Structure 1
Amino acid sequence: MPFNPRRRDVLLGASGTLTAVLTGALLPAPASASASATSWTAGASPSSVGAAFDFLTATFDEYGSGSALRVPRSYTGGFFETPTWTFVSSFAYDDALVIMAWLARGDVRRATILGDTLLYAQEHDPIGDGRTRASYQPDSFTTLNGTLDIGSPAAFTGNQAWVGMAFAHLYARTRQKRFLKGALREAAWIQDKTWDGERAPHGYTGGRTADDQPTTFKATEHNIDVGAFLTMLGTLTGNRVWHARARAAFAFVEAMQDRRGGHLWTGTDPDGTTTNRTPIPEDVQTWALLATGDHRYDRAVTWVLDKLAALDAGVYGVSYSDTDTSKVWLEGTAHTALALKARDGRGDALLSRKLLWNIGRAQATTPHGDGRGVPAASSDGLDTGFGDLYHASLHTGATAWYLLAALSRNPFRL
């Protein structure tokens, strides 16, 4: 079986095109659903967007308040919360998205506090070489007198790039140099620890494992993230070396596009050379267009619409990969909605609004919901094909992506 690298840790283990599905009859929303406040042709309703921001605020304030450094737990309710056990980890990728969503709204205060929390994590890391970790524990993050409570110590390249992008966005908005310094430390770590200029196709490898061993695969997603991040640094610093390194990352992405089908492959196996063709995920298809603005990836978005259409629990959208299209991945549905806005082809704007409306429907009707947060999946047990499952628990990452798409803010661009 091919090796399948992804950005996150394992979380405990409809046929037809989406265009055809969404142009058909939509299931009526119950009268209590916020998504029904407006027609689906209007996309995300203001009440739905406001409720999603309320969820992020409440989650952020669960373990602290005011200016206290803190991180929000990534998953709430459902599978991750039982009478005897609660999963409270906060994934750095999700935290970066929350920062960007708050900046999109103009909430610089909260974004800055969370950004300072990630800077604290970087500065107090036990290795101290500029990395951040995959996740931290929000219930004890600020109570250990300088010793971080790390959930997962892995340092994946994509996560480093997302934290770096969050720092770059914060510096662009606030001009506080500590954020640029943090971004440059992340970039130096990525370049030093993950660049592979020997095994073609050249690109950035997966990072470091939990026991600090190098990973040797190259992920298309990671190289998209790195390319976007280093492009931001080139813009912010005026240093052309970052643009050159960004081009190298994007060259790997280009090499991963299937010329016939238009979609992108996951990346390489651990040998760094052999293309990994199973499974084929959603995120690299839409992110390639969002990060580069290159319309060669228009066909990759079409591939998502054609191959990953999903209908479940009264919600239409797209799934995580071609392994399992029985359930909707709400984060990926937001990716697709934003990518359609960026592609701006015939019918794309309407289809984007329909996807956003459906995310709002999931927000309002998910069985473990509070009417504010967006669930990771429409139902429990969505198989990603990469060794993990997504569940219908509320997710800060999915909620933040929904807000970015609703506000037409591309996190890959300053």
Structure 2
Amino acid sequence: MTGSQGPAFSRRALIGTGLGAGAAALVAVGSGGAQAVEGPSAGTASAPRRAYAFLAAAMDAYPDHGTIRLAQSYTDQAGLFSTAFTYDNALVILACLASRTEDGRSRGMALGDALLYAQAHDPVYDDGRLRQAYNVGPYTFFDGSPQPYGFVRADGTANIGSQFGFTGTAVGDMAWAGIALSALARRTGERRFLTGAVRIGEWIERVGRTEEPLGGYKFGVNAADEKLPPTSTEHNTDLVCLFGRLARLTGDRVWRERRERAEAFVRNMWEPDGGFFYTGTNDGVTINKSPIPEDTQTWTHLALASPAHSRSLDWAATELAVLDTADRRNSTVPAGQSYEGVTFSSAGLLANEDAPIAEFQPKPDRNGVWFEGTAHLALALRDRHAPGDEARARRLIASIERAQDLLGRGQTLGGGAVAEKSGVVSASSPLDTGFGFGYYPYRHAGATAWYLLAAARANPLRA
């Protein structure tokens, strides 16, 4: 993402913001084998087991609407109804595979097949793209219009997220889907997953490649299929992994050149004096120096493992550190609770606490914890393993697990109750990202998946 002037359709541009019948949940990483966790019993299971139970519930929220399905990204209270973001579902696949259970493998394959279905049954295009998000269950929109379909519409096409305008295609979303499909290909040996990942890579090469001075791959296309001008550090970091994996899995050297191109852009964004990465460029010539996001500090380490750039983790852990407590002005944390972690970007620490982030939304808390980012910081610290990193990572993970226990109570998926203490909210309190949207205390498949990856020490970005 490239600053507040950038496109509003990014995977994170949220305009809104119980285990379903028969839902059986995955269990935690470990050697104990798979066991079902259902209903209230999920509350007494370990933190990872309860997190996997939430992901299973998000997958199984609409049992009457077909077996081809994606996971709903947020609980119903977020106001996004049955929206399933492509990025979130890629993360759920990776978390399922990290469980090392047969149920995890089966669920990961089911989600991978759903992404392949969307790729092959887009209502407009047949070029390998995926949309930003899909609808996976019926609902009535705010204007009263019924939306009766699940993930597959009556005509067989994928139910793209048109009600919210989630119909563009961002390179980062595509890259994560490709990473997930390539992981499935490697784990299962099933050729269809590699074929889908290659189609994604080829679409990115055709649409995203730029010859601008800073190079790299551009943002993607909007809903009208118009190319968008920004180039994102985050997206190109994702491509370092995707193209690297495709090089290894296909043996085709062309993917190495493409990986090197994406990596060169990322390295161009490095600020040696401050020890961090900038967010990208809006025009391919001038580096956008504000705001500075968290994920460009953590994902770069996970993808590059470069000792020369690992200071970015210290920058994120220090400069974006927050502590959310109930006595803060706009905090929604219950009395007696506190959460530590990081915020989304440098702009979040300067948010205007006198005005809502968006119309009909609450005012932000400058110290709201972004749990998704807190999780990938914890994972990156564990991956670096410098003195003190493991202790710091454990504190962050403990904060996330406390949030799973105590925040987001009484929320639902597809109208069904979510088991208490299952699933991680996206933020401890409303927070302003500095990129034109916010995060809120709703249970979130993406944040939950990143927590599970951190708990399992499973790096999804290492080629």
The normalised TM-score by structure 2 is 0.78
* Structure 1 unaligned spans of 5+: 14-33, 38-45
- Matched residue of 1:316: which SS? strand
Q: Which residue of 2 aligns with 1:30?
A: none
1:241 aligns with 2:249: no
1:289 aligns with 2:304: no
1:103 alignment counterpart: 97
RMSD of aligned Cα (Å):
2.0
Tell me the secondary structure at the aligned position of residue 255 of structure 2. Answer: helix
Give the equivalent residue in structure 2 for 1:138.
136
1:68 match: 67
Cα distance between partner residues in 2 of 1:397 and 1:54: 14
**Which of 101-110 and 91-100 deviates more?**
101-110
Q: 2:116 aligned with 1:122, yes or no?
A: no
Inter-CA distance 5–261: structure 2 relative to 1 (3 Å threshold) = farther
* Matches for 1:247-258 after TM superposition, within 5 Å: 247-258=260-271
- Offset at residue 77 of structure 1 (A): 4.4
Shift of 1:385: 0.5
Cα contact 1:220–1:267 (8 A) shared by 2: yes
Larger RCO (CA under 8 A, 6+ residues apart): 1
1:182 aligns with: 196
Deviation of 1:272 after TM superposition, in Å, equals 1.4
What corresponds to 1:153 in structure 2?
167
Residue 21 of structure 1 is matched in structure 2 by none
CA distances 1:275-317 after superposition (whole Å, capped 9, x unpaired):
1111110001000000111122211111101111111131100
Distance between the aligned counterparts of 2:115 and 2:156, measured in 1? 13
Stretches (4+) displaced over 6 A: none
**Quick check: 1:60–1:72 contact (8 Å CA) kept in 2?**
yes
In the TM superposition, what is the alpha-carbon distance from 1:411 to its structure 2 partner? 0.7
1:385 to 429, 434, 437: 434
Task: Say if 1:66 and 1:11 are closer, same or farther in 2 by CA, change over 3 A.
Answer: closer
Matching of residue 280 in structure 1 with residue 283 in structure 2: no
1:388 is displaced (CA, Å) by: 0.5
Tell me the residue number matched to 2:238: 225
Distance of aligned partners of 1:114 and 1:60 in 2 relative to their CA distance in 1, 3 Å threshold = same
Give the match for residue 454 of structure 2: 405
Secondary structure of the 1:310 match is strand
Counterparts of 2:314 and 2:293, CA distance in 1: 13
The range that moved more, 337-346 or 318-327, is 318-327
* Preserved CA contact (<8 Å) 1:309 1:319: yes
State the alpha-carbon separation in 2 of the partners of residues 10 and 342 from structure 1.
29
- The percentage of aligned residue pairs carrying the same residue is 43
Shift of residue 87 of structure 1?
2.4
For normalisation by structure 1, the TM-score amounts to: 0.87
DSSP 3-state at the match of 2:46: helix
Deviation at 1:113, TM superposition (A): 0.6
Deviations 1:334-372 (CA, angstroms, capped at 9, x unpaired): 010000011111100111111111100111111446310
**More helix by proportion, 1 or 2?**
1
Matched letter for residue 146 of structure 1: G
Distance 2:65 2:368 in 1: 38
* C-alpha distance after superposition, 1:152-171 (max 9, x if no partner): 11100001100000110000
Instruction: Give me the whole-angstrom Cα distance separating, in 1, the residues matched to 2:402 and 2:378.
Output: 15
